[in-house]
Amino acid sequence: MTALVLQTDRVRLEILPELGGSIGRLTWDGRDLTRPAPERATDVLDTGSFPLIPFCNRIRDGRFTFGGHEVALAPNLGDHPHALHGQGWRATWTVVSAEAAEALLAFDHAPGEWPWAYRAQQRFVLDEQGVRVELSVTNTGAEPMPAGLGFHPYFPAGPGARLQAGVTGVWMIDADVLPTAHVEGVWGPDWAAGAPTAVTELVDNCYTGWNGQAVFTAADGARTVLRASPECRWLHVYSPPGADFACAEPVANRPDPFNGEDSGMLTLAPGEAASVWMTISAG
């Protein structure tokens, strides 16, 4: 698998178009800002970040009704019964253009289990501190389509690492990591105040009231700053016990988005587009 490499004097970005249009590695002065993918990686879940399109997180049993369609999505994460993250992360992306510090990738989806046609694009732009990633989707079909967008970056989180994120509430989860009840204030790690990413119980929760910024701080004080567009109203944090990484995912829809109100899902008319962005930079 060939990586597409963008580089400035201080920043190097390796993109893996064939592996979900993912980030293989992002470094600033040689320091990893995202978790580096292993050489010859074949699983997008081992990469540094991948796009979530045209929905984020889980759809309960992969089933929902929209615009007269009874949609049934097959599981796409082993034997987990709930469809995750859309189609883009499991697809090959096409390199539309590439320069020294900027690239554009695209993925065209034909109707299938997801019965709407769409075109997704990712634009990567480097500066001297890191990368800006813009993700967009355009409804290329003849019917209105539901859509949600987001990002799934993995950050190095060794011993002593901490995460600070301006959140005010959290969705509790059941055994299948689906949301159950919303809680205002702190539950578990106090990310708003800053807390260690090392946990004894799984954190895989969607946090609300996010102010659009999250900061990872390593034990040596090195900082990595995540920022995202206002459309990404939720921050999903995934931190498994014993892991050397933690995920802080800017998302424009909450989990189980076809159940409940104010889920963030948009309805795109034919020809209509939506977009989000994130930046990852050295602090």
pLDDT digits (tens, 9 = 90+) for 208-226: 999 999 999 999 999 999 9
The chain-wide mean pLDDT, for the chain, equals 97
* Domain 4-282 fold: Beta-galactosidase; Chain A, domain 5 (2.70.98)
Query: How far is the C-alpha of 158 from the C-alpha of 163, rounded, in Å?
Result: 12
pLDDT of the residue at 219: 96
Q: What is the pLDDT of residues 63-122, one digit of tens each?
A: 999 999 999 999 998 888 999 999 999 999 999 999 999 999 999 999 999 999 999 999
Q: What is the pLDDT of residues 28-62, one digit of tens each?
A: 999 999 999 999 899 999 999 999 999 999 999 99
Indicate the range of 11-20, 78-87, 225-234 predicted with least confidence: 78-87
With a cut of 90, say whether residue 283 has pLDDT above it: no
Q: What is the mean pLDDT of residues 240-261?
A: 96
pLDDT of the residue at 59: 97
Burial class (CB in 10 A: 0-12, 13-18, 19+), 260: exposed
pLDDT of the residue at 273: 98
Are the beta carbons of 238 and 203 closer than 8 angstroms? yes
Q: What is the pLDDT of residues 151-198, one digit of tens each?
A: 999 999 999 999 999 999 999 999 999 999 999 999 899 999 999 999
Q: How many CB atoms lie within 10 A of CB 64?
A: 20
Q: What is the mean pLDDT of residues 263-273?
A: 98
Cis? peptide before 81, omega within 30° of 0: no
pLDDT of the residue at 198: 96
Q: What is the mean pLDDT of residues 132-137?
A: 98
Query: How far is the C-alpha of 24 from the C-alpha of 29, rounded, in Å?
Result: 16
Phi first, then psi, for residue 235 (nearest 5°) are -120, 115
Whole-model pTM: value is 0.97
Annotated domain spans of the chain: 4-282
Residues linked to residue 83 through DSSP beta bridges, in sequence order: 59
pLDDT of the residue at 42: 95
Q: Indicate the pLDDT class of residue 1, thresholds 50, 70 and 90.
A: confident
Are the beta carbons of 54 and 61 closer than 8 angstroms? no
Is the dihedral angle over the CA atoms 198, 199, 200, 206 positive or is it negative? negative
Q: How many CB atoms lie within 10 A of CB 229?
A: 17
